[in-house]
Amino acid sequence: MDVVFSQELIKKYDKPGPRYTSYPPATEFNQQFGRDYFIKHLLDSNEKANPLSLYFHIPFCENACWFCGCNVVINRIRGREVPYLNRLEKEINILKRYLDFSREVVQLHWGGGTPNYLTKEQTRWLFDLIRKNFNISPKAEISVEIDPRSVDFEYLKIYRELGFNRISVGVQDFNPTVQKAVNRIQPLSLMERIISQIRQLGFGSVNIDLIYGLPYQTPESFKETVRKTLALNPDRVAVYNFAYVPWLKPLQRRIDPKTLPQPRQKLEMLKIAIEEFTSAGYVYIGMDHFAKPTDKLVLAQREGKLWRNFQGYTTKKGVDLIGIGMTSISMLEKFYGQNYKTIRPYYFALDGGVLPTFRGIELNQDDLIRREVITELICNFRLDIRQIEDKFGIDFDTYFESELEELKPMEADGLLTLSGKEIKVTPLGRLLIRNICMVFDIYTKRRRERRFSRTI
């Protein structure tokens, strides 16, 4: 077992903290660093010509899931997606002024919302638009998130024919009472059929998303969901902690807080997930992700090459992520930029002939150093201190003197080991990796009022 569960230590360290899909966290984005900074860094990035990772945000959903924390547009009447697709084309054309489109695309991901909200014809049109404009590698990872309730074999076949090789399917929970409480009804038989079709079509990888902490969930019912998920034999599984934040996500006001499981029950569900998946041979990647031992993420982690960005864990360190669409985030070497988060200003910018980037952050040298430290720890559970010193020309012990002192109580609790050469996270510390990373995060320390999800 590659992770050890301790309720006592989890309760001791459990507090809000970033998920570190970026450092600095997205809470530090501000409008001072808008499109002009993005353009400058896009032009600079062409000099290095790193490979590209593309993210396309399709925000539309036909029905609202009440647990949802994503930026979505609920739209049961078809047609609103047409002007949105036209704006995606405009955004690509404006990007051409600043980004070298001959750079190789090694990753392409469609997220949402519900990408399969688009019709089959619209799906072909959008992919053809991307293929005509960008230099997609023959070996690129091309992935899509799907809602199994609104996809059929012919739709999946189109994805495969276009070149998609990875699929992520939202399940959340198989219990009918839980599904009704979050307005997402999808029986096990539906999932069995969809997964069978995905396998039949030869997709290289299938991910299933689960959530613990939903209304009416119990440890016993969640164990059933985990075991049914195992029977579907996914390549990867993400088990997310439900963050109930109705003041931020109005859809969650539909959920009666009295129906939510207690913290001790949520801890038990997490323990069940860890025990069931690792006992079945899955490797705990970190945070809330599991994968089969042969998965590329596992292999990259073994080699100390796993990385993290706004799409989650990735094997592609050193790529520039370009986000296209409403609310999408781009990540360049020294700049993160985000598009407008709602439709109207997103359209207005593009119709005016400018990029829709409205906020971001420019990274300084300290940010770069701390990003490297945090990302290495959260991805690979080990930090080579000498490697950091050589890369950035610092004396680690001096630069992080106060942080090393903060780590000593964690070492005493068995979460990590410290030496002059490395920081190594123990199996006991893997579940609390966000807490370990927070020691190196100067932004979260300064802004304690920021609201994050709890670390466990």
Q: What is the CATH number of the domain that holds 434?
A: 1.10.10.920
Structure confidence by residue, pLDDT tens digits, 153-198: 999 999 999 999 999 999 999 999 999 999 999 999 999 999 999 9
Indicate if 146 and 34 belong to the same structural domain. yes
Structure confidence by residue, pLDDT tens digits, 409-437: 999 999 999 998 999 999 999 989 999 99
How high is the pLDDT of residue 434? Answer: 92
Indicate if 102 and 188 belong to the same structural domain. yes
CB 397 within 8 A of CB 363: no
Indicate if 242 and 138 belong to the same structural domain. yes
How high is the pLDDT of residue 449? Answer: 47
Whether residue 332 lies inside any domain: the answer is no
d(CA 211, CA 191): 16
Whether residue 196 lies inside any domain: the answer is yes
Structure confidence by residue, pLDDT tens digits, 133-144: 999 999 999 999
Indicate if 417 and 306 belong to the same structural domain. no
Please state, rounded to an integer, the average pLDDT across all residues of the chain: 94
CB 438 within 8 A of CB 18: yes
> Which of 92-101, 260-269, 424-433 is the most confident on average?
92-101
Indicate if 198 and 306 belong to the same structural domain. yes
Q: What is the b/e burial string over 170-179, where b = at least 16 CB atoms within 10 angstroms of the residue's CB?
A: bbbbbbeebb
The region that residue 55 occupies, defined by phi over 0 for left and psi between -120 and 50 for alpha, beta otherwise, is beta
CB 72 within 8 A of CB 59: yes
d(CA 117, CA 72): 12
Does pLDDT of 447 surpass 80?
no
Structure confidence by residue, pLDDT tens digits, 304-354: 999 988 888 999 888 999 999 999 999 999 999 999 999 999 999 999 999
**Other CB atoms within 10 A of residue 148 CB:** 20
Whether residue 267 lies inside any domain: the answer is yes
DSSP string, 251-269: GGGGS-GGGSPPHHHHHHH
How high is the pLDDT of residue 17? Answer: 82
Indicate if 379 and 316 belong to the same structural domain. no
- CATH classification at residue 93: 3.80.30.20
Cα of first residue to Cα of last residue in the chain, in angstroms, is: 19
DSSP 329: E
Structure confidence by residue, pLDDT tens digits, 206-259: 999 999 999 999 999 999 999 999 999 999 999 999 988 888 888 899 999 999
What mean pLDDT do residues 372-396 have? 96
User: Could you give the C-alpha distances from 110 to 114, 164, 195, 263, in angstroms and in order?
Assistant: 9, 10, 19, 34
CB 441 within 8 A of CB 1: no
Whether residue 342 lies inside any domain: the answer is no
Q: How far is CA 8 from the centre of its chain?
A: 28
Give the contacts of 384 (CB within 8 A, at least 6 positions apart).
304, 376, 421, 422
Indicate if 276 and 174 belong to the same structural domain. yes
Indicate if 12 and 73 belong to the same structural domain. no
Whether residue 266 lies inside any domain: the answer is yes
Does pLDDT of 24 surpass 70?
yes
Which tokens in the block code for residue 267? 């801890």
Say what percent of the chain tops pLDDT 90: 82
Burial class (CB in 10 A: 0-12, 13-18, 19+), 449: exposed
Range of the domain at 422: 1-24+364-449
What is the phi/psi pair of residue 397, to 5°? Answer: -65, -35
Which strand (E) or helix (H) includes residue 369? helix 365-380
pLDDT range class, residue 14, cuts 50, 70, 90:
confident
Structure confidence by residue, pLDDT tens digits, 70-80: 888 888 788 88
Whether residue 89 lies inside any domain: the answer is yes
How high is the pLDDT of residue 256? Answer: 94
Indicate if 49 and 134 belong to the same structural domain. yes
Whether residue 288 lies inside any domain: the answer is yes
More confident residue, 37 or 5: 37
Indicate if 208 and 310 belong to the same structural domain. yes
Mean pLDDT is lowest, of 63-67, 121-125, 170-174, 376-380, for: 63-67
Q: How many domains does the chain have?
A: 2
Indicate if 121 and 75 belong to the same structural domain. yes
Residue that is last in its domain, among 320, 354, 372:
320
How high is the pLDDT of residue 1? Answer: 47
Which tokens in the block code for residue 26? 């997205």
Residue that is last in its domain, among 291, 320, 349:
320
Tell me the pTM: 0.94
Indicate if 40 and 12 belong to the same structural domain. no
β-strand pairing of 289-291 with 283-286: antiparallel
Whether residue 335 lies inside any domain: the answer is no
Amino acid letter, residue 53: S
How high is the pLDDT of residue 456? Answer: 64
Question: How much of the chain is in helix, strand and coil states, percent to nearest 5?
Answer: 45, 20, 35
Residue that is last in its domain, among 320, 353, 385:
320
